Amino acid sequence: MQGLGRLSQEQIVFGLAVLLCAGFAVALPGFLTTNNVLNLVRSVSILGILGVAMGLVVIGRGIDLSLVALMAISVAWTLSLIQGGMPLVQAIGIGLVFSLFVGAVNGWIVAYVEIPAIFATLAMGTLVYGFGRYYLFDLDVVYMPPAGAPLLWLGQGTLLGVPVPIYLFALVCLGGYLFLRYARGGRYLRSVGDNILAARITGVPVRPTIVMQYVLSSLIGYMAGIVTAASVASMNTRVAISTYVYDVILVVVLGGIGLSGGKGGIRNVIVGTLLIGVLLNGMTIMDIQYTVQNVIKGVILLTAIVIDTIVNPRDEQTAQQGDI
Amino acid sequence: MTPILELRNGTKEYRGVPAVQDVTFTLHRGEVHALLGENGAGKSTLTKMLAGVVQPTSGEVLIDGRPVDLPTPSEALKRGIAMVYQETSLVPSLTVAQNIYLTDKKRFHRLRGIYIAGQQFLQSLNFHVDPTAMVSALGAGQKQMVEIARAVHHNAQVIIFDEPTATLTPEEKHQFFSLVARLKSRGVSIVFISHALEEALQISDRITVMRDGRHIVTDVTSAFDREKIVRAMVGRSLSDELYGRHGDRRTRPAGDKVLSVQNLSMGNAVRNTSFSAFAGQITGVFGLIGSGRTEAAKVVAGVLKRDLFHGGQVRLDGRPVRYRVPRPAVRDGIIYVTEDRKIEGFFETMSIAENIYLGAMAGGRSRSATVSMGEMRALAREWIEALNVKAINGDARVIELSGGNQQKIVVAKALVQKPRLIIFDEPTRGVDVGAIAEIHQLIGRLADDGIAVVVISSYLPEILQLSDRILVCRQGRIVEEFDGGRTDEETIMYAAVH
């Protein structure tokens, strides 16, 4: 709870996004066109859905570096199964089960074997990408076969003039919000992220909760993957070894979900997504080199964190954790 | 005589809220000055101003009568003022000698050199600490010795201790007191904050009592007694209510045997110990720190990891149980209320209501898969009222409350789980005097309601006042049992130390 007159990181980032948007709108002729705005939100939706997945894990004091790799491989596999003539629903089912299974293994390694999440999921990401490329399909890019056409609507269709991915992003956000606020599992997840020792003593099923958070992230990740594949009618598995997963983390951290766990919620993901989405889109229109974009992203993240610390200093008293 | 250190009309505000208001505090050369007050009275803030940790909003600090500016703790240290915190500021992965010489003027040291110098230096202070030992391997008392040695090494003329004895065993306390005497004979002035009034009366020359950020009284120690200090601290006399004559009290009869532990062993901490707890009774467990009392309780409640469990049997209502994690124990009604609420007690990003409701959910009281906001708020209201928690409403964060109120929330979170056996580990540690009485009354009510209550404490008056039965723990074993109504402090202490 912030005192009056103090801005939270969430509000700062939201302000930045609005400023940036206004700046681009004035400076870049192509920015405010309907086409570009739709394109922007569509691409941002996928980042946002992944942000929700990552956000849930980070709130539970974990991190899922295998998120993007798993998404790419399980969806690419789904596409190649469809290509091979398997019925759509069955192919999607297999891809989903694979994704959930890997998520559960992630959770099991983190919760029961007690490997730090950052290492467990880093290794899992590499494993999944290598496994997929070697055993499941031959090419880097798997195209959406004609039989998969019904899926295209999820990525390219519109409903009442608004692209479908935006509805899906909204839906995932709503689901995440309700889960964190009203579901028993969501409460458990927050308690584990906040203070795992206290959660354990209170009788929260700590380990199953950790497994659940990785399963959830793989589920939402799979959804994001289907939307991605539907938008561009293909899945480029090289995204698994790109820095895309760090963009997702950027969204989460920038939005104000602390890596120390327990803090923040879905609103933070939305705000972070907005800023990063606007930024990436604007930079692409300006034709800024990819490497320079990384510099800018890094500077933005540092700036946001620094401003947050200046505006909201850690309380001298609580930092000392003594009495007054 | 000019005081060596003085704060004149000091005020410190945090976000406009005064923590210390217009306090003048003087420290004479070579005196031991006890600073007393409830939690939140402003003691720590006052000493932090003196040690350069925080800056006064108004007022000035004087050393030897000259106004000085102390922007940082290291500036204060240069002028001979050192502060020793309750949570130590040593680097655990360095050795004792490395810690002592860490902030030395000389930037590079030979390891052998500082070990030899450290050995001589520690010996000159009569501290029995190995300079080559890793700090992480030391006990609380030894860590404190190292902190003090470091302060003395920096030629501190004034050493400020923040609750120095809170984590020490009685034996270590004795060492600490003789150390204070030695420092004093070297001309060092000492300020120490404490909740233990007997200690203050025993070792200080002067006493200052604070309340609500204000200075209440300063006088020579001989002008005080326990009663007078408590009255000054709380503005009312609580002493009888708190630690009344336990002799007049009737003990409760034992109900059914709820818990029975036989030949329990766990590592070196718990050795072949046996004890039981009965419904409707308070079983007090007294033991020095390190006697295995906490570990035994944690094994019973499934809190400790299973690979440490070496054997023995735990029976709940005659049925053998063995919990690998706390959850099934909680479901069976065995609740452990931790001694360290900051580390494993509550959820700091959650509100009071969310904390309590989480207890209800995890304890199996609320079976539904979704959270009912109405039920959550009602539960919070109920417990805030029942335990007299001082908070605006259930939406306040636990971290913003005082120690006593935080403890009440931790207790409420345990009680919503409907315990049959509840284990309080140091239920009043870091809790202000007013809340201690309330928590004690609450514990009594629980036993009256037929719950089996176990209270672990290293504070004898607390054990004597609360317990119907007293178990004494020593070196990992329950060694003696007393009837709560018919024993005294010396008898118990005798059993605990021999």
Output the 3-class SS for B200-215.
HHHHCCEEEEEECCEE
CB contact under 8 A, B344 and A316: no
State the average pLDDT over residues B406-425.
91
Give the integer Cα–Cα distance in Å for A263 and A191.
10
Structure pTM?
0.74
pLDDT at B240 > cutoff 70: no
* Chain A residues in contact with B84 (beta carbon < 8 A): none
Positive/negative CA dihedral, B341, B345, B350, B351: negative
What local confidence, expressed as pLDDT, does residue A209 receive?
Answer: 95
What local confidence, expressed as pLDDT, does residue A324 receive?
Answer: 32
User: What is the value of ipTM here, to two decimals?
Assistant: 0.84
* Chain A residues in contact with B329 (beta carbon < 8 A): 203
Positive/negative CA dihedral, A281, A286, A290, A293: negative
Q: Determine contact: A317 vs chain B, CB below 8 A.
A: yes
CB contact under 8 A, A317 and B368: no
CB contact under 8 A, A184 and B368: yes
A9-311 CATH: 1.10.3470
Q: Determine contact: A140 vs chain B, CB below 8 A.
A: no
State the average pLDDT over residues B311-320.
87
Minimum mean pLDDT range among A162-171, B63-72, B194-203: B194-203
B300 contacts B485 by C-beta, under 8 angstroms: no
Give the integer Cα–Cα distance in Å for A145 and A190.
41
Residues of chain A with pLDDT under 50: 1-5, 314-324
Question: Closest Cα partner for B33 from B210, B229, B219, B206?
Answer: B206
CB atoms within 10 A of CB B224: 21
Take residue A4 and report the two structure tokens written for it: 């009056």
A47 contacts A239 by C-beta, under 8 angstroms: no
Q: Determine contact: B406 vs chain A, CB below 8 A.
A: no
pLDDT digits (tens, 9 = 90+) for B302-313: 888 765 666 788
DSSP states of A75-106:
HHHHHHHHHTT--HHHHHHHHHHHHHHHHHHH
3-state secondary structure of B397: strand
Angle, in degrees to the nearest 10, between helices A266-285 and A244-255? 130
Residue A234: in which H helix or E strand, if any?
strand A234-236
B479 contacts B472 by C-beta, under 8 angstroms: yes
Extended strands (E) in B41-105? 58-63, 66-68, 81-84
* Chain A residues in contact with B399 (beta carbon < 8 A): 318
Q: A127 CB contacts (<8 Å, ≥6 apart)?
A: none
CB pairs under 8 A between A and B: 123
What local confidence, expressed as pLDDT, does residue B237 receive?
Answer: 45
Take residue B353 and report the two structure tokens written for it: 């209501």
Q: Determine contact: B44 vs chain A, CB below 8 A.
A: yes
CB atoms within 10 A of CB B6: 21
Across A54-63, B253-262, B486-495, the highest mean pLDDT is recorded for A54-63
Give the pairing type, strands B257-266 and B270-278.
antiparallel
pLDDT at B58 > cutoff 50: yes
Give the pairing type, strands B334-337 and B421-425.
parallel
Give the integer Cα–Cα distance in Å for B469 and B251.
8
Which residue among B86, B162, B331 sits closest to A203, beta carbon to beta carbon? B331
DSSP lists the bridge partners of residue B321 as B314
What local confidence, expressed as pLDDT, does residue B248 receive?
Answer: 53
Give the integer Cα–Cα distance in Å for A266 and A176.
7
CB contact under 8 A, B362 and A197: no
Q: Determine contact: A6 vs chain B, CB below 8 A.
A: no
pLDDT at B242 > cutoff 60: no
B347 contacts A194 by C-beta, under 8 angstroms: yes
Q: Determine contact: A177 vs chain B, CB below 8 A.
A: no
* Chain A residues in contact with B54 (beta carbon < 8 A): 316
What local confidence, expressed as pLDDT, does residue A279 receive?
Answer: 83
C-alpha atoms less than 13 angstroms from C-alpha of A134 in its C-beta half-sphere:
6
Where residue A264 falls (left for φ over 0; alpha for ψ -120 to 50; beta otherwise) is: left
CB contact under 8 A, A323 and B44: yes
Take residue B26 and report the two structure tokens written for it: 């003087």
CB contact under 8 A, B402 and A323: yes
What local confidence, expressed as pLDDT, does residue B264 receive?
Answer: 85
Give the integer Cα–Cα distance in Å for B184 and A101.
67
Give the integer Cα–Cα distance in Å for B372 and B357.
9
> Which amino acid is present at B288?
L
Q: Considering only residues B46 and B288, tell me which one the structure prediction assigns the higher pLDDT.
A: B46
CB contact under 8 A, B345 and A198: yes
Give the integer Cα–Cα distance in Å for A33 and A41.
12
Take residue B476 and report the two structure tokens written for it: 């990992």
What local confidence, expressed as pLDDT, does residue A185 receive?
Answer: 92
3-state secondary structure of B279: coil
CB contact under 8 A, B346 and A195: yes
Q: Determine contact: B53 vs chain A, CB below 8 A.
A: yes
Give the integer Cα–Cα distance in Å for A280 and A247.
10
The CATH fold of domain B248-497:
Rossmann fold (3.40.50)
pLDDT band per the 50, 70, 90 thresholds, residue B239: very low
Q: What are phi and psi of B485, to 5 degrees?
A: -85, -15
DSSP lists the bridge partners of residue B18 as B13
Task: Give B187→chain A minimum CA distance, Å.
Answer: 29
Which residue among A203, A263, A316 sits closest to B327, beta carbon to beta carbon? A203
What local confidence, expressed as pLDDT, does residue B143 receive?
Answer: 79
3-state secondary structure of B232: helix
pLDDT digits (tens, 9 = 90+) for B453-485: 999 987 777 888 889 999 988 878 888 888 887
**Range B5-242 has CATH code 3.20.20.370:** no
Domain with CATH 3.40.50.300 in chain B: 5-242, 248-497
* Chain B residues in contact with A61 (beta carbon < 8 A): none
Q: Determine contact: B397 vs chain A, CB below 8 A.
A: yes
